[in-house]
Structure 1
Amino acid sequence: MIIDFFKRGSNNGDQPQAMSDTAREMVEKCKFPYEVFPEGSNHSDIMKRYEEKLREGKEKGFTPVIVPVDETLEEYWEIFEDEEYSFEDTIRGASSEEGKKFLHECYEEMLDDTSMSEEEYVGEFDDEPDAINHVTAFMEFGAPDTLETIIFEVPTTNPWEVVAYLPFGGWNECPNPDKMVSVCKYWFEKYGAVPVTITHEIMEMSVLECVSAGDALELAKEHYAFCPDRVDQGTRTGTISEVAASLEVSKIWYFWWD
């Protein structure tokens, strides 16, 4: 079945919203209600609106997702459309068990590819960890300005499904949408992790509580298996143990695939 979200969406306001050509192409590929924030909007205004939609969605049956206007992501959607991608099949095939198994197998494969012991592979971190408690995917890199940003109302009350409705991945070490959905389902059921932002190369998830010290290291291994750049390019020490320390003080999980 051809995915049917590649149709025109509609905004929630009474008046048309000004937007760039790329933003227009993105909302025209989706049938979801949306709200557009122009470039340079206040970060806190976008997050306040997201939180409002999060509460509203619990009553009306949708999950909001923040998507910065992204030409590459729009092109990916066009490729998925051409390949007759089906979000329904992707969701139907999702499994927490498969998500956990995928992460375990990826981690073991990466460990086997080194000459290190697991203790060496995990490394040591005894510094002050970075607390990640704000999403940043819609911020201009290296600048305080926000990008043009869309909040989509994805028609599901299962937050893990949004990565099937707004697919990306399947290149280099970024998992295919089917693997990504199973991983997100696993993490949602175990930790309550909810995708907040999606770009063609970034996903940020939120949790209500930081993970415990007892869970942090195993979860950090899973994060590394899911997104090696989270460790290799996203830490000061290049260690899994640094990610584990950060998870103990963070309510946002950040993933970026180079």
Structure 2
Amino acid sequence: MTIRSKPLTALSTDPTGGMLGLSLPPGSLVSETYDGPWSEPLLWVADGTAAPGAWAQYLPARDAAGLQPVLLQDEPRVEEWWDGELDPGMMSDPGDHRAEEVLTLFWEAAVADTSEGEEDEGETIAPFTTGWPGLASPEGTVADPDTVAADVADALTENWLESPRPALVPVGRAADIPAAIGWSGPVNYENDVARLCAVLRSWEDRFGARVIALSYARLDLSVAAPPQTPDEALAVAAEHFAFCPDNIWQGYETIRLYAEEALVGNTHWTFWWD
């Protein structure tokens, strides 16, 4: 996947982003794994950790320069994983994939894996059968996506992420951030993150979802229009099972329990790949 980095190139000579109408703190530009003479920067990362309010503080960069804000979790076991771990050249374009086709294939693979590792896979995926159940119906947006995103980012900063770093990515929509920077978090599950981004685009359109934070193998989203009833949540949970089976396998055991406890009214969706 190609990435437009002209705004980032400008930061190499104007570190605070004044020419772009920004006022950035000290930070650095990160290039892809192959840092040759033709490589271009993929993202800008602040030197310091994010404080509450940081995500909203960087929204003007999106509107003024097309730089999408995201938080990067600097993990102790993989410090600054974005330095030397990014390879967008390995990714296709999210626009080349259809969310339902991607989820259908993922669902079939997850169900097959469940049947191999469980005595009764029917209980895990009930009330669904082995066939893909289809996309969940979109919900009416109940809140402004940017406001919800800022609230979720603050909650992550205060309660969940130990040392998040604000970052800016030159990409048209937040759903494309993982593929645009060549993130490899789900590598044991899916090599081409653009296929996951196609699903993120669909969630962005249907549920007002936004990519808020990336860790080494974790993805956090805000959701402006989460499901409000158990039945609505069940349909979304099927998509989550296809997207990231570990969400159910490692913690909830069944799609129904996951829907009831993790999705009803929840404006924060998180995914972690083993």
Give TM-score, length-normalised by structure 1.
Answer: 0.69
CA shift, 1:66, in A, is: 0.6
Aligned residue in 2 for 1:200: 216
User: Is the 1:65–1:195 contact (alpha carbons within 8 Å) kept by the matching residues of 2?
Assistant: yes
Measure the CA separation in 1 of the matches of 2:24 and 2:186. Answer: 37
Are residues 34 and 170 of structure 1, via their aligned partners in 2, closer, same or farther at CA, if it must alter by over 3 Å? closer
* Matched residue type, 1:32: L
* Matched residue type, 1:156: V
Aligned residue in 2 for 1:99: 102
Measure the CA separation in 2 of the matches of 1:96 and 1:144. Answer: 29
Is 1:68 paired with 2:84? no
Measure the CA separation in 1 of the matches of 2:234 and 2:63. Answer: 32
Are residues 15 and 254 of structure 1, via their aligned partners in 2, closer, same or farther at CA, if it must alter by over 3 Å? closer
Are residues 80 and 151 of structure 1, via their aligned partners in 2, closer, same or farther at CA, if it must alter by over 3 Å? closer
Partner deviation per Cα, 1:59-88 (whole Å, 9 max, x = no partner): 54232111123574866763554xx7155x
Aligned length: 227
Measure the CA separation in 2 of the matches of 1:216 and 1:16. Answer: 40
Which secondary structure state, in structure 2, belongs to the residue aligned with residue 215 of structure 1?
helix
The counterpart of 1:154, out of the listed 158, 162, 169, is 169
Unmatched segments (≥5 aa) in structure 2: 18-22, 33-40, 128-150
Is 1:17 paired with 2:17? no
Aligned residue in 2 for 1:212: 228
Aligned residue in 2 for 1:179: 195
CA shift, 1:160, in A, is: 1.1
Is 1:163 paired with 2:178? yes
Measure the CA separation in 2 of the matches of 1:248 and 1:91. Answer: 28
* Matched residue type, 1:37: G
* Matched residue type, 1:234: G
Measure the CA separation in 1 of the matches of 2:25 and 2:68. Answer: 22
Are residues 109 and 234 of structure 1, via their aligned partners in 2, closer, same or farther at CA, if it must alter by over 3 Å? same
Which secondary structure state, in structure 2, belongs to the residue aligned with residue 27 of structure 1?
strand
CA shift, 1:231, in A, is: 1.9
User: Where do residues 14-53 of structure 1 align in structure 2 (5 Å cutoff)?
Assistant: 17=26, 27=30, 29=32, 30-38=41-49, 42=51, 44=52, 48-53=53-58
Measure the CA separation in 1 of the matches of 2:166 and 2:63. Answer: 16
Partner deviation per Cα, 1:89-113 (whole Å, 9 max, x = no partner): 4334233333333343334434544
User: Where do residues 70-89 of structure 1 align in structure 2 (5 Å cutoff)?
Assistant: 70=75, 72=78, 78=84, 81=87, 85=89, 89=92
CA shift, 1:174, in A, is: 5.1
User: Is the 1:95–1:185 contact (alpha carbons within 8 Å) kept by the matching residues of 2?
Assistant: no
Q: RMSD across aligned C-alpha pairs, in angstroms?
A: 3.7
CA shift, 1:185, in A, is: 1.9
Measure the CA separation in 2 of the matches of 1:188 and 1:56. Answer: 20
Identity of aligned residues (%): 21
Measure the CA separation in 2 of the matches of 1:234 and 1:220. Answer: 14
User: Is the 1:65–1:198 contact (alpha carbons within 8 Å) kept by the matching residues of 2?
Assistant: yes
User: Where do residues 53-64 of structure 1 align in structure 2 (5 Å cutoff)?
Assistant: 53-54=58-59, 56-64=61-69
Partner deviation per Cα, 1:129-185 (whole Å, 9 max, x = no partner): xxxx8457668xxx98831x3222222231211111222235323553132222212
